[in-house]
Amino acid sequence: METISLNKYFSQKTIKDNISSTLKEIEIYKKCKINVESVSTADIIPLSKYVKNYRLVFTEKFMTSILKYNLTPFDPIILFNDGLYRLIFPPILEKQKEALFIIDGTHRVFMALKNNIKYINLVTIQGCNLPDLPCKPSTWFNIKMTSKRLNSEQMIESSNMSNFRPVSSLMNSDRFSFKSIDEIKRYFFDRS
């Protein structure tokens, strides 16, 4: 597993604009202010009741690779694994009522907290008329590790699935997998 900072190939503005335009494909985020910024891990509120063991194993390898290459958790990166280059954007949070709720990236933030990392880079979404959260917030203390394959409704408490954000399915889609760095460069330049 090799990690490469996107900063090696693109400006901060190009990266931020690409992340922003990607997230604005989701209807509720179209008019939102989207930033990449450093946030204290202590200020992040999870929504999930669980973290999945198999995802933690991968996330631990991912964290080791980030630290090995002396990168800041969680700068936007290119991850080379199993013959493919994959764009990995930072965890995604919504800022509502001055609180930061994690929408995508719970396993990464969980692992950062476990490794006593105080600040991480995140995508924050705010400044628009966001609907209520899809569930009641949780706490890091109450999150349980599980080896069960749970769907989204099982992962969160008191879910209102009509308010569920399709961020994970967007970010984990094949559109962010590439055969070469040149393909990634074309993807970025085609979108700018």
For residue 189, count CB atoms less than 10 angstroms from its CB and return exposed for 0-12, middle for 13-18, buried for 19 or more.
exposed
Three-class SS state of 79: strand
Q: What stretches of the chain adopt beta strand conformation (E)?
A: 2-5, 33-40, 44-45, 50-52, 77-81, 84-88, 92-96, 99-104, 119-126, 144-146, 177-178
- The pLDDT assigned to 158 comes to 64
Question: In the chain, where are the structural domains located?
Answer: 2-191
Band of the pLDDT at 104, cuts 50, 70, 90? very high
Q: pTM of the full predicted structure?
A: 0.89
**pLDDT reported for residue 174:** 84
- 104 near 48, Cβ under 8 Å? no
pLDDT digits (tens, 9 = 90+) for 26-82: 999 999 999 999 999 999 999 988 899 998 999 999 889 888 888 888 999 998 988
Q: How far apart are CA 188 and CA 14, in angstroms?
A: 8
- Residue 31: per-residue pLDDT: 94
Does an H or E element contain 190, and which? Answer: helix 181-191
Reported CATH class of domain 2-191: alpha beta
Rounded Cα distance, 13 and 35, in Å? 10
pLDDT at 109 over 90: yes
